[in-house]
Amino acid sequence: MAVDLLLGLQWGDEGKGKIVDVLTSKYNIIARFQGGPNAGHTLVFNGTKHVLHTIPSGIFHKKAINLVGNGVVIDPVIFKKELDKLSLHKVDYQKSLVISRKAHLILPTHRLLDAASEASKGKAKIGSTLKGIGPTYMDKTGRNGIRVGDLELDSWKEKYRALANKHESMVSFYDVDLEYDLNELEVEFFEAINVLKSLTFIDSEDYLYQAQRAGKSILAEGAQGSLLDVDFGTYPFVTSSNTTAAGACTGLGIAPNVIGKVYGIFKAYTTRVGSGPFPTELFDKDGETMGRVGNEFGATTGRSRRCGWLDLVALKYACQVNGVTELMMMKADVLSGFKSLKICTAYKHKGEIIYHFPFNVEVHNVSPIYTDFEGWDEDLTKMSNESTLPKSLNAYINFIEKELQIPIKLVSVGPDRKQTIFR
Ligand code: GDP
Ligand code: IMO
Ligand code: MG
């Protein structure tokens, strides 16, 4: 059976967690392929909100296996906290959660390096979640990292010590004040490692190959969004992994020719948390309304998210890079009550009108060209059928579908699992 992918098409927080949860009943395996605890995936059902960072969003379904792939970076301390929360909700994760031996570990000193690097950048900081993501992927590609499978070897603590010592000397290289107590950080780290070791470690690429050959259905869950991809995003204001479709191949060991559907998730408007260019960003009342109604605060850091109109130039680019086959539009309910809406359909770039996402999308290079749309007043949050959607929302949806030439198969009208309309 084919492996389907689910990816964010903007700057993250599109609502991936909600949709993976909604789709899990159709799949045997949910597999996270990149990122780490920089992600915050929110699920809401039965009146309770859950936020997952590293654990795949299918974990609340009894039958599915949830797999943390080799492309993911794991902070044992945060991972343990996630497991503790799952225990409170009686999730039998010992049975339903498996981890790739090839996934890399985030050490306490990776977090320190992240903090030192950001502090040293001053105004040019990335706006990182400071979870140690960049330094851990740097150690992975620099061939210094420690992997989950290393924990099964006696020698891993020596390797740990050598790497942590090296990190400490690197931290001191930065000209910043960073107060920390490594001994204290290591106590919780080693405790968390013991918890991690109680879980099932697997050779995940073989596991997925066999599962796929045996006809099991697999959904690959992305983290972040395409515009934060280290190659295709707004570099250097990106994360350190490939968040796009290719990342699912390298982050799980699946071949490109087994990929089936590519679900692309986007918000009906745009948000971004952290620094970096954002051509359609609003600094007015409309932006403020989106943030307030959409409750746009980061699920991992609590920072307020920057808000703006939908950017079709960027969305088209993300659809191309990922080969999106089906779109899912999130948070349509947040746009209720706007008299008129705008969609960016082109950029003015160095005096010319362009329709592609250029190398430089900074504000001084690019200004958005908008098409206007009529708004709608209806409250969508209790709607469950496509036929009840307001006429102007249908016009908004039809325009996007026509521009992107990809069907919008799902419209989300609230955070709850049930507030989901299939088309
Ligand atoms: P993810 O990182 O892509 O999983 O998204 P986040 O969980 O970080 O952010 C999405 C936020 O929007 C969460 O607070 C969700 O509960 C919420 N959400 C998801 N879908 C909808 C929707 O259709 N309408 C509204 N109002 N909120 C939604
Ligand atoms: P989910 O999976 C939104 C952003 C950070 C920062 C940049 C680099 O919930 O959509 P990093 O910690 O990776 O060094 O941060 O990327 N960022 C996210 N923004 N959603 C996320 O994940 C993000 N993960 C990282 O804010 O700008
Ligand atoms: Mg999020």
Backbone angles phi, psi at 278, to 5 degrees: -160, 85
Which of the listed residues 11, 53, 331 should we mutate to test ligand 1's pocket, taking the one with most ligand atoms within 8 A of CB?
Answer: 331
Question: Would you state the structure tokens that stand for residue 210, as one six-digit string?
Answer: 């066999």
Q: Of the bound ligands, which one is closest to the alpha carbon of residue 411? A: 1
Task: Tell me which residue has tokens 């490939």.
Answer: 242
Cα–Cα distance measured from residue 359 to residue 6, given in angstroms and rounded to the nearest whole number: 26
Any ligand 2 atom below 6 A from CB of 38:
yes
Choose, from 4, 13, 229, 311, the residue flagged as catalytic: 13
Question: Would you state the structure tokens that stand for residue 357, as one six-digit string?
Answer: 């996402």
Render pLDDT for 8-52 as a digit per residue (tens, 0 to 9). Answer: 999 999 999 999 999 999 999 999 999 999 999 999 999 999 999
Cα–Cα distance measured from residue 337 to residue 340, given in angstroms and rounded to the nearest whole number: 9
pLDDT attached to residue 363: 85
- Indicate if 379 belongs to the active site: no
Any ligand 2 atom below 6 A from CB of 134:
yes
Q: Give buried/exposed letters for 307-320 (b at 16+ CB in 10 A, else e).
A: bbbbbbbbbbbbbe
pLDDT attached to residue 341: 98
Q: Of the bound ligands, which one is closest to the alpha carbon of residue 12? A: 2
Backbone angles phi, psi at 200, to 5 degrees: -85, 120
Residue with CA at minimum distance from ligand 1 atom 11: 15
Q: How many CB atoms lie within 10 A of CB 401?
A: 15
Q: What is the pLDDT along the chain (423 residues), one digit of tens a residue?
A: 899 999 999 999 999 999 999 999 999 999 999 999 999 999 999 999 999 999 999 999 999 999 999 999 999 999 999 999 999 999 999 999 999 999 999 999 999 999 999 999 999 999 999 999 999 999 999 999 999 999 999 999 999 999 999 999 999 999 899 999 999 999 999 999 999 999 999 999 999 999 999 999 999 999 999 999 999 999 999 999 999 999 999 999 999 999 999 999 999 999 999 999 999 999 999 999 999 999 999 888 889 999 999 999 999 999 999 999 999 999 999 999 999 999 999 999 989 999 999 999 988 899 999 999 999 999 999 999 999 999 999 999 999 999 999 999 999 999 999 999 999
194 forms beta bridges with: none
Any ligand 1 atom below 6 A from CB of 412:
yes
Q: Residue 255 in contact with residue 249, Cβ under 8 Å? A: yes
Q: Residue 421 in contact with residue 411, Cβ under 8 Å? A: yes
Which of the listed residues 42, 265, 382, 418 should we mutate to test ligand 1's pocket, taking the one with most ligand atoms within 8 A of CB?
Answer: 42
